[in-house]
Structure 1
Amino acid sequence: MNSVLFLRSLAMCGVVCVATGLAGAQSKSVQPMLLVVNQGDRDLSLVDPAAGKQIATVPVDGVTGHEVAASPDGKTAYVPIYGDSGVGKAGTDGSKLSVIDLASRKIVHTVDFGHGVRPHCAIYDRNSGMLYVTTELDKSVSIIDPKSLKIVGSVPTGQEQSHMLVLSRDGSRGYTANVGPGTVSVLDMKGRKTLAIIPISKDTQRISISRDDSMVFTADQTKPQLAVIDTATNKIKMWVPLPAVAYGTASTLDGRWLLVTQRTGKQVVVVDLKTMKVAQTIDVADGPTEVLVSPDGKSAFVSCTRSKQVAQIDLEQWKMTRLIDAGVAADGLAWAK
């Protein structure tokens, strides 16, 4: 090879190597990270889901947080500081939201609600660009601008203990599970008003919505059954019998299956949303609470509060593939991607 060809080859090699390096850096930057809030440890676990390992923990302002949301760019986590009480029980009333920079693994800002509100569930709405946080003691959902980190409004729920929130895909409708009243509030998120209050039972927990927005699911805490709400009528469409009392729910990305945690049975049941019957039962660790489907739709991750772990479920084989160590009373989950 002559010197000219050699130099050309060397230059091409440099271009390819640089391009490959950039591609590697880009792929590494978009790798999803699983966030886990540990109530007992009062911190946030950062988990590498590919390796199945906790890579770091971040304290969340010294008081108990339960849930977490992440910004769409995966750089920031938001943890409402609920306090040390149970829902509707005596204890401290949290009044802040910790804003965590995931790169430096530090709290970089605190949003102060000004008084005790027991902030609990946080959702980052990509449609409006707003961060919604349930504020139980105010019977509302507070609206925070993530850019200014200012509270810019609220949506009344009309009920006490509005614990969990879920949004329709376009962000126009919100649904809260109101624990003690045993109801679900239907919210107009743009109009900032309550549209309906749906009676469920004496006690309800958690809430999710189907992929096509046609159904909302919430778990009766007095009987082993799941309420299915028709979003067109805002009424209970049917009840799905379950092996045990349910807790958290989440639909698979194809919209065909609903994963339901059963804390007393150490199991996750799979409901076929075509037949509305239990199709699978999957053994996990102790205290399965929240369930989150991976961005690629291949796995589900389940926080197991009593075992201090997160269970990973293969959604093709319908079985638990591994347990990932987290912290004491592992609870809320979110994807940073």
Structure 2
Amino acid sequence: MLKKLTFFLVLPFFISIAQNLIVLNKSENNAMFFDLKKDKLLAQLPTGNAPHEVAISPNKKFAVVTNYGTRENSGNSITIYNLEKLNIEKTITFENHKRPHGVDWIDDEKIIITTEANKSVIIVNFKTGEILAEIKTDQDVSHMLVLTPNKSKCFVANIGSGSVSVIDLKEFKLIKNIQTGRGSEGIDITPDGKEVWVTNRAEDSIAVIDVQTLEVKNKIKVDGFPIRVKILKDGKLAVVSCARSGEVAVIDVANKNVINRIKTAEKSEVEKSGRLFGSVFGDSPVPVGIAIGGNNLVYVANSNADIVSVIDIEKGQILKTIKTGKEPDGIAIW
């Protein structure tokens, strides 16, 4: 009854917001493209092996997907989609760089990617496929990344080393490795570029880095295996997906305190074999990837429930869910 009711309550929002959603299904090797205005699936296209993360180009014409691979078989490619034609623009394969994961666009031509197996990030020319630079982090499991608003620096979260690497994008060199906490994984930056927030999944905390001093200035306790963080466009709230507890935590950015926790789905009853986290978190829906849409709607991929939850953060409620393929993770809005 609740799902039917919330669908009709939220329908006017989707009529007024012309946005689209891309969701990566890790266990099915595909990407799904949704029209949020019409509430329908536009396309489902193949990726490489086990796609993990996705980023939209600044001009909104292309999406790049990192094909991370599985525990048994490392991935070494990226898939680029043409968002106007909804087809595969190209696939770029790297001969000597394995396990591409975190990804973003420096501009409409240059893409920056973490390559975990190489303990590095690489910068790739989207048009030619050429690797323009490789910068070593020398940290274990360099996983997610975020760029400063002016694209002068890149911050890389390193799960295995519990650190964040700071990279100069003008000179293509490592500036510093900052110890942030055990299991540093999710990462985002405030819209004003002053703070980088990092989820430390193994110690249930968020580390807040001062971008000017490159020092950790706050630690915020967030229970439930915090795995991703996104800061809303107005900079007032941060949303953290907590994989173990099956919730998103909502944090006041200025005051650095948790003000709400919202369940992302009911208890998960899907078959868990073959998934990254399997049954480690019991019947949690395992929320991971987060995308911020219009009107501060938050989209959360639930990897062990095969749905995306659409959440009104201000009201603290799920408005609806979107059915995906098996094990959704990487997610983006354009």
Backbone CA RMSD of aligned residues: 1.9
Partner of 2:188: 208
Conservation of the 8 A alpha-carbon contact between 2:152 and 2:170: yes
Distance between the aligned counterparts of 1:248 and 1:326, measured in 2? 19
Distance between the aligned counterparts of 2:90 and 2:18, measured in 1? 25
Aligned pairs for 1:40-79 within 5 A: 40-61=27-48, 63-79=49-65
Q: Does 1:239 align with 2:216?
A: no
Partner of 2:11: none
Partner of 2:201: 221
Partner of 1:275: 255
Pick the aligned partner of 1:84 from 64, 70, 73: 70
Question: How many corresponding residue pairs?
Answer: 300
Distance between the aligned counterparts of 2:296 and 2:180, measured in 1? 32
Please list every run of 5 or more consecutive structure 1 residues that lacks an aligned counterpart in the other structure.
1-27, 86-90
Conservation of the 8 A alpha-carbon contact between 2:292 and 2:333: no
Conservation of the 8 A alpha-carbon contact between 1:53 and 1:324: no
Partner of 1:304: 302
Q: Which amino acid counterpart does residue 66 of structure 2 have in structure 1?
A: P
Task: Select the structure of larger CA radius of gyration.
Answer: 1
Structure 1 pair 125–34 and aligned structure 2 pair: CA distance change class (3 A): same
| TM-superposed deviation, 1:65 | 1.0
Partner of 2:177: 197
Distance between the aligned counterparts of 1:111 and 1:118, measured in 2? 13
Pick the aligned partner of 2:81 from 96, 100, 109: 100
Distance between the aligned counterparts of 1:137 and 1:196, measured in 2? 20
Distance between the aligned counterparts of 1:197 and 1:188, measured in 2? 12
Partner of 1:114: 95
Please list every run of 5 or more consecutive structure 2 residues that lacks an aligned counterpart in the other structure.
1-14, 266-284
Conservation of the 8 A alpha-carbon contact between 2:25 and 2:325: yes
Q: Which amino acid counterpart does residue 41 of structure 1 have in structure 2?
A: E
Partner of 1:289: 288
| TM-superposed deviation, 1:72 | 3.0
**CA offset digits 1:216-257 (Å, max 9, x no partner):** 111122222211111122111111112322111011111011
Secondary structure of 1:80's counterpart equals strand
Pick the aligned partner of 2:134 from 124, 147, 154: 154
Identify the range of structure 1 (177-186 vs 241-250) with the bigger mean alpha-carbon deviation.
Answer: 241-250
Distance between the aligned counterparts of 2:36 and 2:106, measured in 1? 24
Conservation of the 8 A alpha-carbon contact between 1:37 and 1:331: yes
Secondary structure of 2:75's counterpart equals coil
Secondary structure of 1:310's counterpart equals strand
Distance between the aligned counterparts of 1:49 and 1:212, measured in 2? 28
Secondary structure of 1:47's counterpart equals strand
Conservation of the 8 A alpha-carbon contact between 2:182 and 2:203: no
Partner of 1:33: 20
Partner of 1:166: 146
Distance between the aligned counterparts of 1:245 and 1:99, measured in 2? 31
**CA offset digits 1:254-276 (Å, max 9, x no partner):** 10111011111111111011211
Structure 1 pair 31–154 and aligned structure 2 pair: CA distance change class (3 A): farther
Q: Which amino acid counterpart does residue 59 of structure 1 have in structure 2?
A: P
Partner of 2:106: 125
Distance between the aligned counterparts of 1:222 and 1:71, measured in 2? 32
Aligned-pair identity in percent equals 28
**CA offset digits 1:312-331 (Å, max 9, x no partner):** 11133232111111111100
Distance between the aligned counterparts of 1:64 and 1:281, measured in 2? 30
Identify the range of structure 1 (68-77 vs 324-333) with the bigger mean alpha-carbon deviation.
Answer: 68-77
Structure 1 pair 154–31 and aligned structure 2 pair: CA distance change class (3 A): farther
Secondary structure of 1:100's counterpart equals strand
